[in-house]
């Protein structure tokens, strides 16, 4: 019986693999596609001016572009996996592209990229041009690919055909994003020069080949049918922004997890936890007279207007304002109320915890806020939820800044204790609320669409 079950499972796997292979057939056969050996010139000869330009482009990229973020991007774009390519193009497209969120669009991309790839096979075999890293006997940015690529032809670039082809197909789906998408497709090809796998003339020929292939695709009835299905799917999922909601939070209070179920009650009078709260309060109270720079920062951190975004400038490496980074600014402003207000208010109203400056009959460092603070309770800290929520979003936009962003969020939370508006346990609870709300936020379609606009904006500024 056990052997029968094993054979049955194996049969299912084989059937599944065969169906998967059939699912992503190219839209056109090799004989139906444009033959690049007939309409493209052969690769430049070793004594030609064009080859001298290839050599110059290779060494310029090697000496100036391989280090830093542009080099890391080139390494990431060495993939030929369509799912990964779609993820990398999502920022330029303006929303997430994946099997889970856009299955019809991914089906279109899988078959289209297979078609583009097929168009490069004949000229590669015909010319078998030596790749630059082989020509100079040097390493590349993707050493794990070198053994396989060493024996394959360089002209034209298969990666560029795929990247430029994906940019063309996605531009047809979302014309409003065509400039951003084509810029991403162009850089995809340049990544092959930077990585050391292709000459510049390989890349330029590939763009012409992909354009010719895309034109021929318009004659495929199935391609036309699939692209219309993808457009319908994207319309359902909302690629276009709802301009009536641009100033509203992404999540309503009903959509945010109930903080009463999420959080334990605040520490009670007489508990060790409340004793620790008191100790922390007086420690930071004494800090007010000894560390004037930290006090100034704490007062600044109390401002939840656009100023809060500027406090992340050093950690994020970019200045976020409505003028300099409009897409990122919009993403963050629409997210903030989800964390500090919707995420915290129910627990605040239920527990009605007294703020420390009221409990000790002292004053805060922000006396103008005290009337409001007395009627808006202490547990959890909404300011802290905002700081950590912003840090989570900004980390998704620039993962390399994770540690600095988390440190800035912790400083923002501690500032609430220094100011005298919160207990330390309020701050800890605010961080928990932010983490929970962030998981809900990431599933919101409008948030997703705006996130990828912001990601494209950030990536462009970091190039």
DSSP letters spanning 378-418: -SS-HHHHHHHHHHHHHHHH-GGGHHHHHHHHHHHHHHHHH
pLDDT of residue 245: 53
Give residue 341's pLDDT.
83
CA 162 to CA 146: how far, in whole Å?
19
- For residue 47, what are the CA distances in angstroms to 57, 132, 284? 16, 15, 73
Measure the CA–CA gap between 184 and 171, rounded to whole angstroms.
Answer: 11
Q: Give the span between the Cα atoms of 433 and 324, in whole angstroms.
A: 30
Task: Dump pLDDT digits (tens) for 373-430.
Answer: 888 899 999 999 999 999 999 999 999 999 999 999 999 999 999 999 999 999 999 9
CA–CA gap between residue 432 and residue 256 (Å, rounded): 13
Cα 84 to its chain centre, rounded Å, is: 12
Active site residues: 159, 192, 198, 202
Residues 129-167: tens digit of each pLDDT: 999 999 999 999 999 999 999 999 999 999 999 999 999
User: For the segment 53-97, what is each residue's pLDDT rounded down to a tens digit?
Assistant: 999 999 999 999 998 889 999 999 999 999 999 999 998 898 889
Structure tokens at 389: 């929520």
> Percentage of the chain surpassing pLDDT 70?
91
- DSSP one-letter code for 136: T
Residue 137 φ/ψ region, left for φ over 0, alpha for ψ in the -120 to 50 degree band, beta for the rest: left
CB within 8 A of 349, min separation 6: which ones? Answer: 377
* 259 vs 62: which has the higher pLDDT: 62
pLDDT at 3: 43
Task: Using CB atoms within 10 Å of the CB of residue 375, give its burial: 0 to 12 exposed, 13 to 18 middle, 19+ buried.
Answer: exposed
The per-residue pLDDT for 143 is 96
Write down all domains in the chain, each with its CATH number in brackets.
23-237 (1.20.144.10), 244-462 (1.20.144.10)
How far apart are the C-alpha atoms of 30 and 118, rounded to whole Å?
6
pLDDT band with cut points at 50, 70 and 90 for residue 24: confident
Q: What is the mean pLDDT of the chain?
A: 88
- The yes-or-no verdict on residue 5 having pLDDT over 80 is no
As given in the structure block, the two tokens for residue 264 are 């334990």
pLDDT band at 23 (very low <50, low <70, confident <90, very high): low
pLDDT band at 288, cuts 50/70/90? confident
| Cα atoms found within 13 Å of the Cα of residue 326, Cβ hemisphere only | 2
Q: Measuring CA to CA, how many Å separate 262 from each of 130, 229, 343?
A: 61, 41, 10
């Amino acid at each position: 019986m056990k052997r029968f079950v094993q054979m049955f499972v194996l049969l299912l796997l084989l059937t599944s693999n065969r169906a998967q292979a059939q699912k992503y057939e190219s839209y056109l056969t090799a004989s139906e596609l444009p033959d690049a050996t007939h309409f493209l010139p052969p690769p430049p000869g070793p004594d030609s001016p064009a080859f001298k330009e290839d050599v110059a482009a290779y060494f310029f990229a090697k000496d100036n572009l391989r280090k830093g973020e542009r080099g890391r991007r080139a390494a990431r774009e060495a993939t030929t996996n369509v799912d990964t390519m779609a993820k990398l193009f999502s920022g330029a497209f303006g929303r997430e592209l994946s099997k889970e969120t856009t299955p019809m669009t991914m089906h279109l991309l899988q078959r289209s990229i297979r078609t583009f790839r097929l168009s490069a096979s004949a000229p590669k075999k015909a010319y078998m041009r030596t790749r630059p890293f082989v020509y100079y006997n040097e390493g590349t940015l993707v050493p794990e690919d070198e053994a396989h690529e060493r024996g394959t032809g360089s002209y034209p670039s298969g990666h560029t055909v795929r990247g430029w082809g994906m940019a063309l197909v996605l531009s047809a789906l979302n014309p409003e994003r065509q400039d951003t998408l084509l810029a991403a497709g162009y850089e995809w090809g340049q990544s092959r020069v930077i990585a050391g796998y292709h000459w510049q003339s390989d890349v330029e020929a590939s763009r012409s080949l992909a354009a010719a292939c895309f034109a021929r695709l318009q004659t495929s009835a199935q391609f036309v049918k699939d692209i219309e299905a993808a457009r319908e799917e994207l319309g359902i999922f909302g690629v276009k922004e709802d301009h009536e909601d641009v100033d509203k939070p992404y999540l309503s209070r009903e959509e945010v997890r109930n903080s009463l179920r999420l959080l334990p009650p605040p520490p009670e009078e007489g508990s060790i936890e409340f004793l620790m709260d008191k100790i922390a309060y007086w420690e930071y109270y004494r800090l007010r007279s000894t560390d004037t720079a930290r006090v100034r920062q704490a007062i600044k951190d109390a401002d939840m207007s656009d100023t809060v975004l500027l406090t992340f400038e050093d950690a994020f490496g970019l200045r976020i304002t409505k003028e300099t980074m409009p897409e990122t600014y919009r993403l963050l402003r629409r997210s903030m109320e989800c964390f500090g207000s919707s995420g915290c208010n129910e627990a605040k109203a239920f527990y009605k915890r007294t703020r420390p400056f009221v409990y000790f009959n002292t004053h805060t460092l922000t006396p103008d806020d005290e009337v409001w603070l007395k009627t808006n309770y202490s547990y959890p800290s909404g300011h802290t939820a905002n700081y950590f929520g912003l840090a989570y979003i900004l980390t998704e936009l620039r993962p390399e800044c994770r540690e600095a962003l988390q440190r800035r969020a912790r400083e923002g939370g501690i500032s609430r204790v220094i100011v005298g508006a919160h207990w330390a346990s309020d701050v800890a609870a605010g961080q928990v609320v932010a983490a929970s709300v962030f998981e809900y936020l990431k599933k919101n379609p409008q948030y997703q669409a705006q996130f990828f606009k912001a990601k494209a904006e950030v990536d462009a500024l970091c190039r």
